Amino acid sequence: MPNLDKSLVAHLPIFSGVAPDDLTEILRDAQSIRYAKGTSVFQQDEEAHSFFVLLHGHLRVMKVTPDGQQVVVRFVTPGDLFGIAMAMARTTYPASAVAVVDSVALVWPSAAWPRLVAKHPALAVNTLQTIGSRLNDAHTRVVEISTQQVEKRVAHALLRLAQQAGRKGEDGIQIDFPISRQDIAEMTGTTLHTVSRILSGWEDQGLVEGGRQKITIRDPHKLFILAERSVD
C-alpha cells in the first residue's frame, strides 16, 4: 500500500494505540479500491473474502429477507470499519453493501485478520469497541421500533443521519449523500408512503425541506423536540 499516506488513517479509532511502525506494517496488507456510485462492495451471504475501512464516500448496508423485503442496517461513513464478518467468526457477509456515491475503501483480505490481531492486540480491542457501539445502536433501534410511533422514529433517524453525515449549509443541515424516502422507510420499519406524508407535513411547518433524494433539516431543534416529546 505504498500510495497511501499513513497520516490519513492514523487517527482512526480502529488504529488508536497502534504504533506508527506497526501501522505501516498493517497497511502493507491493504489495497485501496474505488467503488463507483451504485456498485456493490459485497453481497449478503457471499463468501467474506475481505474486510474494509471506508476512506471516502458513503455506503448503504442492507439486509434482504427471504421474501425480498429490504431493511437498511446502517450507512457507512468515512473512517468506519465494515465487512468484518470473520471477526465474528462468520464465513459469509450478513448483509450487502452498496456505494451510494463514488467511494474509496481500504481493503484487507479476510485471511489476514487472525494474523493481524495476533500481532496487534489493540486491533481486537478497538474493534470490540466499534462492534460494541454498533450493538448499542441496534438495541436502541429495537427499542425505538418496538415502542415509538412512526413519526418519532423518522425524526430520530433524520437526526442521527444529520449527526453522522450532515453538511451544514445556509438554510440548515443537509444529508451529505443521496437518500430516498424508501431508504428512510427501510431504516424505520415503515413504508415510503408514510415517510413521504410525514416529511410533507414537516415541510409545511418549515421543519425540513425535501427534494429528490435530498433532505435538508431547517430546524433541528424543533425536530429534536418532536423526537423526544412523549405522546400527548
Partner DNA sequence: TGAGGTGTTTGATGTGGCGCAAACAACAAG
Partner DNA sequence: CTTGTTGTTTGCGCCACATCAAACACCTCA
The answer to whether residue 197 forms part of the interface with DNA (CB under 7 A) is: yes
* Burial zone of 71 (CB within 10 Å; 0-12 exposed, 13-18 middle, 19+ buried): middle
Q: Cell 429534536 sits at which residue? A: 224
Residue 73 contact partner, candidates DNA, its own copies, none, CB within 5 to 8 A by sort of partner:
its own copies
- 121 touches its own copies by CB under 8 A: yes
92-151 residues in contact with DNA (CB under 7 A) are 149-151
Q: How far apart are CA 55 and CA 114, in angstroms?
A: 23
What distance in Å separates the CA atoms of residue 131 and residue 90, rounded to the nearest whole number? 14
Is the distance from CB of 33 to CB of 130 less than 8 angstroms? no
Does 66 participate in binding its own copies (rule CB under 8 A)?
Answer: yes
Q: Does 134 bind its own copies (CB under 8 A)?
A: yes
Q: Does 230 bind its own copies (CB under 8 A)?
A: yes
Contact present, 172 and 162 (Cβ < 8 Å): no
Cα–Cα dist 110/112, whole Å: 5
Told to check if 191 binds DNA by CB under 7 A, we report yes
Q: Which residues lie near its own copies (CB under 8 A)?
A: 63, 65-67, 69, 71, 73, 87-90, 94-95, 117-118, 121, 124-125, 127-129, 131-136, 138-139, 141-143, 145-147, 186, 189, 230
Q: Which residues lie near DNA (CB under 7 A)?
A: 149-151, 180-182, 189-194, 196-197, 199-200, 203, 210, 212-213
